[in-house]
Chain A
Amino acid sequence: MKPAAFDYYAPTTVDDVMALLKRHGSDARLLAGGQTLLPMMNFRLAAPEVIIDLNRIPELAFIREAGGQVHIGAMTRQRALEFSPVIAKDLPLLHEAIKMVGHLPTRSRGTIGGSLANADSAAEIPMILQVLEGEVLVRGPDGERTIPAAELILDAMTTSLAESEMLAEVRFQVMPQGALFAVEEFSRRRGDFAIAAVAAMLVVKDGLCEKARIATAGVSSFSSRLRAAEEILEGRALDADAIRKAGEAAGASIEPVSDRNASEEYRRHLTRVLTTRVLNRAAESAKPH
């Protein structure tokens, strides 16, 4: 399983990437961590004429705190996120979820930008982007634009990026102090893509759920927010009844996919079960130990 031949470029600036994309258009693929693209090329399911390697561009890898936000360069390794004290402090939900992404050796190369641009329906990072309502900074031939989480992914493996564009940065609001959160994943084996995963962040004030953000991975063709479940929780106490209803709403509201791993019915069922478990765990974490 050897890849087909290609022309290889390793630019050192984003401007050089733009020029190469302009010159080669659809003949070119961007190579980030390679943990998805290289396997496809080894199978010859992808046979790009041109590879633009992004791994030599230092300006694309960084983790910065910037006025209530965390800015992360697209080529930041998942491993760097895993061991970053900034992520642990400011984005603890991402800190927890990142350990579910593949295995340590794949996180040594895999990047946050690569995962988002790939938009696999069962990937964890796109789900976290939804929950935390992050946004991505995209560079194109005519400059920069921002895409909010809800508008980034259109379908399985399909983002709203144009062919000439490149994902350059990911931005998150720092999670509110005292926010409750949890993430649960169900897969056949440890480290596999999720058959179903649910992540949630809740802000509870004076006994009432002020803000609920819940998203899935693996159950539909792309990660999406469970707005029906969120609406049930917001404005009321986070009790067993609310959680149960939110779980049911979650299961009912998704557009599940069916494949060899799970039927639509089972994915609905898993969504309900995992949403309930995530919300229970988040609620538990608020209680004094």
Chain B
Amino acid sequence: MAKSVEIHLKVNGKNHVGHCESRTLLADFLRDHLNLTGTHTGCEHGVCGVCTIFVNGEAVRSCIMLAAQANGAEIVTIEGLSTEGRYHAVQKAFHENHALQCGFCTPGMLATVIDFLKTNPSPTKPEVKEALSAVLCRCTGYQNIVKAVMEAAADMREGTVGASANV
């Protein structure tokens, strides 16, 4: 039936088979069908960026993608960013710089930042601010997030803190 779909996908390194309606949003599929509630939804219309995850290595807004479209994809969510209990460089920098308060936008921030740093490993502050403008945060005022990203970028360039094999 074209109103439901079967999807095969890899999430955080694990293979999954799911059945859902064709209209099920990818964010809801992850949260409700796979119980990966680390991905949040802040607007369900693709503006706030809170729902951003990795799909095939790129940051994507999961509230405006159908789960059906993720058939065959490799997905990484916030639950898959740290390896063996060790923070990704960006997670570490967020913690040390108080770059999160309520934590609701944090999953989207992390994915957006990590993807951005892959495309631009030595960003300037204005470039970081521009990249961060993809995700809305109501708590932090962004200042500490900018600081954290500059620090994480430096750490990753110097190889002092690992990235993650997953992303």
Chain A positions within 8 Å of B, measured between CB atoms, are 1-10, 31, 34-35, 38-39, 41-43, 50-51, 53, 55, 79, 83, 103-106, 108-109, 189-191
- If A2-B28, A10-B68, A103-B131 are given as contacts, then 7 extra A-B residue pairs at C-beta distance below 8 Å, sorted by A number, are A7-B2, A38-B66, A39-B44, A39-B45, A41-B23, A42-B63, A51-B22
Judge whether B134 is part of the interface by a CB distance below 8 angstroms: yes
A-B contact pairs, 26 of them (CB 8 A): A1-B45, A2-B23, A3-B23, A4-B23, A6-B22, A7-B2, A7-B22, A8-B68, A10-B71, A31-B66, A34-B65, A35-B64, A42-B25, A42-B64, A53-B69, A55-B69, A79-B58, A103-B49, A103-B112, A103-B134, A105-B49, A105-B60, A105-B61, A106-B134, A109-B65, A191-B134
Q: Are A6 and B3 in contact (CB under 8 A)?
A: yes
Shortest distance from the beta carbon of A17 to any chain B beta carbon, whole Å: 15
Q: Are A108 and B134 in contact (CB under 8 A)?
A: no
Determine the distance from Cα of A43 to Cα of B47 in the docked complex, in whole angstroms: 13
User: Which of B5, B46, B115 contacts A104 (CB under 8 A)?
Assistant: B115
Chain B positions within 8 Å of A, measured between CB atoms, are 2-3, 5, 21-23, 25, 28, 44-47, 49, 52, 55, 58-61, 63-66, 68-69, 71, 111-112, 115-116, 119, 130-131, 133-134
Query: Which secondary structure dominates chain A's binding surface?
Result: loop
Determine the distance from Cα of A52 to Cα of B16 in the docked complex, in whole angstroms: 25
Q: Are B64 and A39 in contact (CB under 8 A)?
A: yes
Q: Are A105 and B64 in contact (CB under 8 A)?
A: no
Q: Are A8 and B116 in contact (CB under 8 A)?
A: no
Q: Are A5 and B23 in contact (CB under 8 A)?
A: yes
Q: Which residues of A contact B134 (CB under 8 A)?
A: 103-106, 191
Q: Which residues of A contact B115 (CB under 8 A)?
A: 104-105, 108
Shortest distance from the beta carbon of B65 to any chain A beta carbon, whole Å: 6
Q: Which residues of A contact B25 (CB under 8 A)?
A: 2-3, 38, 42
Q: Which residues of B contact A43 (CB under 8 A)?
A: 45
* A3, A53, A104: residue with the most chain B Cβ atoms closer than 10 Å: A104
Q: Which residues of A contact B44 (CB under 8 A)?
A: 1-2, 39, 42
* A43, A106, A190: residue with the most chain B Cβ atoms closer than 10 Å: A106
Shortest distance from the beta carbon of B47 to any chain A beta carbon, whole Å: 8
Pairs A-B, 10 closest by C-beta atoms: A8-B22, A103-B134, A7-B2, A38-B64, A39-B45, A108-B58, A1-B44, A105-B59, A190-B133, A3-B23
